[in-house]
A and B are shown apart, each in its own frame.
Chain A
Amino acid sequence: GAGVSQSPSNKVTEKGKDVELRCDPISGHTALYWYRQSLGQGLEFLIYFQGNSAPDKSGLPSDRFSAERTGGSVSTLTIQRTQQEDSAVYLCASSLSGGALYEQFFGPGTRLTVL
């Protein structure tokens, strides 16, 4: 079946602009994660959604970052007033459910470049 998909695959924006990144999880997966992969920093957790529960936002680096998940499926990560340090690859992952038993499956990522 289809894996996790993300769009756009690449995004170039100017400093100060807002951007929206989209993630389509695997159908039927109730858990969804956003991670960020920066040069030299490795992969860092941003936010976690499980079903209709309130998301765990503990990894978001600033209040310029927000995410929502509509209908328990598609998720959008929004970065307001982008800064150059936001340049990174943003990866989305989904799993059948939240919990230790379930593998996380990753999408191809969105490469964000802030000029």
Chain B
Amino acid sequence: KQEVTQIPAALSVPEGENLVLNCSFTDSAIYNLQWFRQDPGKGLTSLLLIQSSQREQTSGRLNASLDKSSGRSTLYIAASQPGDSATYLCAVMSSGGSNYKLTFGKGTLLTVNP
């Protein structure tokens, strides 16, 4: 059974700092990995989708890497801003199944202080 772990559970940084969020998964047989952002009381916003054949994806100040063989992904946020404050969720789509469901970590709560 696939399990996804995110470290740290919470992170507080001053504005302007670069930061890294970590995600690990137990079964490396995945189709893809997706990073989401969730604001309080809101749904999920997709940030980056990395296919299993890819090593990284970039969008603006965000960069996500994937090391499938070691079961790890990182989300790098450059020059953090207070508007980046949210919960960041990592999710993997395991191969071998037919339902293409996502298995989620419990998230990292990020607070960026002005």
Residues of chain A at the chain B interface (Cβ within 8 Å)? 4, 31, 33, 35, 42-45, 48, 56, 58-59, 91, 93, 95, 98-101, 103-109, 111
Q: Please, how many residues of chain B have a CB less than 8 angstroms from a CB on the other chain?
A: 27
**Contact in complex: A103, B43 (CB < 8 Å):** no
Cross-chain contact of A48 among B32, B42, B101, B106 (Cβ < 8 A): B101
Query: Is there contact, CB below 8 Å, between A100 and B43?
Result: no
Question: Are B100 and A99 in contact (CB-based, < 8 A)?
Answer: yes
* Of the residues A33, A43, A45, A100, contact of B89 by C-beta under 8 Å: A43
In the complex, what's the smallest C-beta–C-beta distance from B19 to chain A, in angstroms? 22
A111 CB contacts on chain B under 8 angstroms:
41
**Complex-state Cα separation, A109 to B43, whole angstroms:** 6
For A103, the chain B residues whose CB sits under 8 A away are 34, 46, 49
Interface on chain B toward A: helix, strand, loop, or mixed SS?
Answer: strand
Collect the chain B residues with CB atoms within 8 Å of residue A100's CB.
31-32, 51-52, 93, 95, 100
B98 at the interface (CB under 8 A from A): yes
Q: From residue B87, how far is it (CB to closest CB) to chain A in Å? A: 11
Instruction: Say yes or no: A33 contacts B101, CB within 8 Å.
Output: yes
B88 contacts chain A at the CB level, 8 A cutoff = no
* 8 nearest CB pairs, A to B: A100-B31, A45-B101, A43-B104, A56-B99, A106-B44, A108-B43, A48-B99, A42-B106
Write the B19-33 contact mask toward A (1 if CB under 8 angstroms, else 0): 000000000000110
